[in-house]
Amino acid sequence: MEKKYALITIIILIVAFGIYAYKYPPITKNNDSDNAKIAAVKEGDPASKPSTLRMSLIEEMVTNYRKNQLISIENAAQNPVKDDSHSILFDLDTLKKFISDIERGVKEVQPTADSKLAIRMYYAAYPLKEKWNERGYEALGNLLGQDIPKLYERKHTILMIPVIKTDKGIFADFNPFDKSTYQGFPKRKRAMSLLRDPSDTTEIPALNHGQLIPPASTIGEGF
């Protein structure tokens, strides 16, 4: 009789546990081993691997620029630029904001489009400092009150411009906030002189004013 009661009790406990487990299923937590496996999968994903270059290659490429392009600029027969900049620094927050502004513009203007976006970097040079207080140069006039930026006159710099892949498959400069430019800007006549049209007040998203080295200190550069 005791065995019968014990068997009935066991059956009741099993049924009760089954009902409880059905209503309140256990939450599985990843242990350290599982987390390690997940991390390994992510690390093995080509998309998650950071872009890298060998330091020796970076050094060679930087040296090539300084021995060729830079030395030509600094020793040009006409209008040489002494101590021209050889690097430019942008802080990460500035770059993130610029990218975010481009993406935000596209979402606001063309929210349903799956647009391929990019950034084009133009090699450029600052104009003569005597112009920085003139009409149309307001973005440069603000640099005159800063010790290092006020020395940027004629030095090498970079201008970053938003780019979109057009319907024809061409990567074209554009304004993310102006839909009429999504197939590229209208053709503009390239100025053959240093004269500008002061009546042209068109503004587009662009990024400049990184820290030029020199005139900023070279301390911290690895190459």
Domains in the chain: boundaries: 2-46, 85-187+203-223
| Terminal C-alpha separation, the chain | 89
Q: Is the pLDDT of residue 199 over 70?
A: no
pLDDT of residue 114: 81
Structure tokens at 12: 């009741």
Least confident residue range of 69-78, 162-171, 196-205? 196-205
What global pTM score does this model have? 0.74
Structure confidence by residue, pLDDT tens digits, 81-130: 999 999 999 999 999 999 999 999 999 999 887 889 999 999 999 999 99
Measure Cα distances from 109 to 86, 101, 134, 203 in Å: 38, 12, 34, 17
Taking 80 as the threshold, does the pLDDT of residue 191 lie above it?
no
Residue position matching structure tokens 């503004």? 203
How does pLDDT run across 5-61, given as a tens digit for each residue?
A: 554 555 555 655 555 555 555 554 445 545 544 444 455 566 788 999 999 999 999
Distant-in-sequence, close-in-space partners of 153: CB < 8 Å, separation ≥ 6: 126, 127, 128, 129
